Every structure is written in structure tokens, then in C-alpha cells.
Amino acid sequence: MRSLLSVVAVVLGVLISPSRTLPNGAPESVCDTMLPKHGNNIPPLTTASPFRITPGTSVIGSGQQLQVEIESFPTNVVYKGFMIQARNRYPPYQVLGRFEQTDEGAIKLINCGGQDSTATHTNTQTKKDLALEWVAPDNFVGEIVFNGTIAQDYAQFWVGIESTPVKVVASGQPPSVVGISTTRRVPTTTTVPPYVAPTAVKGETVDPIYQGCGDTKGCFGFPE
């Protein structure tokens, strides 16, 4: 009997093991709260997060693609789960844009009010410095922030990690205003012409034959 109870305990332990809780990413039921459904009602940490969501640029045109990175500070800190979405910086704080699938082994896209509008993990393997590709909506102009939940492990996770704001402008604006897709480095101007001081103009030498012309006599061909 004791051995049977031991087997049952082991089986139950495997079934409710933290490593097996939502191993395939966040469900669409938490699109609004972004709270992991971990057992025992584990609350999110309120300490400073060692993770940062970093957009590649601060200005992007509507319909353009933007690279977003999940970084850690210090750099050796790894994480196991994440949920990232772009939201309007101002009310009604709706989820905006969509993500591109760039790594099916690490990234799963779910629908939170829009197709592929939220990126989450596909497994609980350790991750580090993951890059996502987000596409701005065609019909939105304004400021967005990337909002995320990042889980270092089953019992340690942070909710409401925000990026710096990104301004979405009409794609028809000049490139200097819209910016350039973050999949490549923004070019810088290094060929500014050097300043050249103007050369002083030398005074002209007047032939003696023209002396007095214009004052005491009139002369044909006198340079004016």
C-alpha cells in the first residue's frame, strides 16, 4: 500500500510540476492581464526587472517593420517565458500591429484583438537576447509602447515591462522623418564639406594712362 501511494505521489508531482505549466506559451485568455497562469496564485515580482524590451528605433512609418529585442541586465541573466505586445500609449491602450514569425522553435504568435498581434514562447528552455520583428499597422498614427511579461522561471516573473515609446507616422512622410527599418543600420553622413575661408581679392593695378580718368578727364575704355 505504501509503495502504491508513493507511485501516485510521483505521478501527481509530474502532472503539476512547474516546468509543465503552460510550457507552450501564454494562452489568448490572458491577452488583457498578461498574467501567467502559474499554480498556487504566485504573484508577479514588484522588484526592478533585470530585463528590458528595446525597440530598434524611436520613429517608424505605418506598415514598416521594426526589430524589438528582449535584453537582460546584467547580460548573463536568462529567462524561460515571455509575452510581448505593442499597445497604444494612450487610452484605450488597444493592442496594435502584428509580429512576423522569425523562429518557430522559440516564438509563437497568438491573436489578441488582431492577427498575430502578440508574441510568446513555444517552450520553457532558457533564452537570452531574443529578437522579434513587429510590423506597424497601416491605419494608425501615434505613439505605441511594447508591453511585456517575462518569466525568469516558474516562480519569478515580471508583468508590465514597458519599452520606450515608438512614434508611428504616416509612411508617406520623408525618410528623414519616418526613419529607416531597424533591420539595417541607419546611415550617417560623414562627408560634410570642410569649411573654406574666402580668398581675399587682390587690388587691381591701374595703368598710368588712366590716371585722372573720371575725375579731371574723360577716358574711353576706363575700367568702371
pTM: 0.69
For 93-129, write each residue's pLDDT tens digit.
Answer: 999 999 999 999 999 999 999 999 999 999 999 999 8
10 Å CB burial of residue 184 (0-12, 13-18, 19+) is: exposed
**Quick check: 201 and 194 in contact, CB under 8 A?**
no
In a domain, 218, yes or no: no
In a domain, 18, yes or no: no
CATH number of the domain to which 56 belongs: 2.60.40.4060
Interatomic CA distance for residues 183 and 133, integer angstroms: 9
In a domain, 169, yes or no: yes
Domain with 60 in it:
24-178
* Tally of domains within the chain: 1
**Quick check: 39 and 19 in contact, CB under 8 A?**
no
Task: List, for the chain, all residue ranges whose pLDDT scores fall below the cut of 50.
Answer: 1-2, 4-21, 175-206, 209-210, 217-224
Sheet holding 130-135, edge to edge: 51-55, 65-72, 130-135, 98-100
164 phi, psi to nearest 5 deg? -70, 155
In a domain, 194, yes or no: no
Residues 71, 72, 76: CA angle, nearest 5 degrees: 125
In a domain, 80, yes or no: yes
In a domain, 197, yes or no: no
In a domain, 8, yes or no: no
In a domain, 220, yes or no: no
**3-class DSSP state for residue 209?**
helix
